Amino acid sequence: MPAVGVLALQGGVAEHISILTKLGCVVKEIRTPAGLKHISALILPGGESTTLISLMNRWELIRPLRAMGEEGFPIFGTCAGAVLLSKEINEKEHEVNQDSLQLADVRAVRNFFGRQTSSFVEELTVAGLAEPFTGVFIRAPLLLPLSDEVEVLSRVKDGPVLVRQGNLWLSSFHPELTSDSRIHMLFLESHGILKGSG
Ligand code: GLN
């Protein structure tokens, strides 16, 4: 099976690696453009999107990643990773001038649910999953679709928290912070990287 890449510049890298390994994937940590060869999908982990984008800039990853995303390569961004995939970024109270990969027709409202101390856990209904999924939200963004191409797979009272636009998946919560691998599985199965269990 071709490897699944995890962007390993900052943030929750180890947790994604452990879920993917549990699913039987070969995992490759990505730090440079050369590392992007020979992977079949990529995870952009949570962390701090402002730090991540400046590290991606320093390592000259922005251009190749943008091209891959535009060409249909499967990329899943979680929390800060979702912010990085979004075409528009703002904060609840004000506009922010923050660069991103600008791939998904999504407006990410950063820190929508408040600060670290307002972290919360919520049982989510997710399209494609028979049972609820425990969503862990830490300074999470709200993910507002900007076009009809964006499918909402899960929402909380305030709005969408898991969305998909073709090859691009964005979650505002952290699916890697539980032992539940079903969302990673959905993402990989939908791109034929893992075979469905039935
Ligand atoms: N609030 C952070 C950001 O916008 C994301 C937090 C996280 O990834 N847990 O970058």
- Is 80 near ligand 1, meaning CB less than 6 Å away? yes
- Is 83 near ligand 1, meaning CB less than 6 Å away? yes
- Choosing from 15, 16, 49 the residue with most ligand 1 atoms within 8 A of its CB, the one to mutate for a pocket test is 49
Q: What is the DSSP letter of 95?
A: B
Quote the distance between the C-alpha of residue 78 and its chain's center.
3
Ligand 1 centroid–CA 139 distance in Å is 5
Q: pTM of the full predicted structure? A: 0.96
pLDDT at 198: 45
pLDDT at 92: 80
Catalytic residues: 79, 174, 176
Ligand 1 centroid–CA 198 distance in Å is 35
pLDDT digits (tens, 9 = 90+) for 18-30: 999 999 999 999 9
**pLDDT beyond 60 at 2:** yes
Maximum Cα interatomic distance, the chain, rounded to a whole number of Å: 46
Q: Kindly give the pairing relationship between strand 86-91 and strand 168-171.
A: unpaired
Domain ranges of the chain: 3-190
Ligand 1 centroid–CA 168 distance in Å is 18
At 1, the pLDDT band (50, 70, 90 cuts) reads low
Residue 5 has a CB neighbour count (10 Å cut-off) of: 23
Backbone angles phi, psi at 125, to 5 degrees: -90, 125
From the list 190, 163, 135, 138, the residue with the least C-alpha distance to 77 is 163
Quote the distance between the C-alpha of residue 1 and its chain's center.
22
Tell me the mean pLDDT in the region 71-93: 95
CA dist., res. 174 & res. 155, Å (int): 14
Tell me the mean pLDDT in the region 4-16: 97
Mean pLDDT of the chain: 95
Regarding the domain delimited by 3-190, which CATH topology (the fold level of the hierarchy) does it fall under?
Rossmann fold (3.40.50)
Q: Which atom number of ligand 1 is nearest to the Cα of residue 138?
A: 9
pLDDT digits (tens, 9 = 90+) for 29-54: 999 999 999 999 999 999 999 999 99
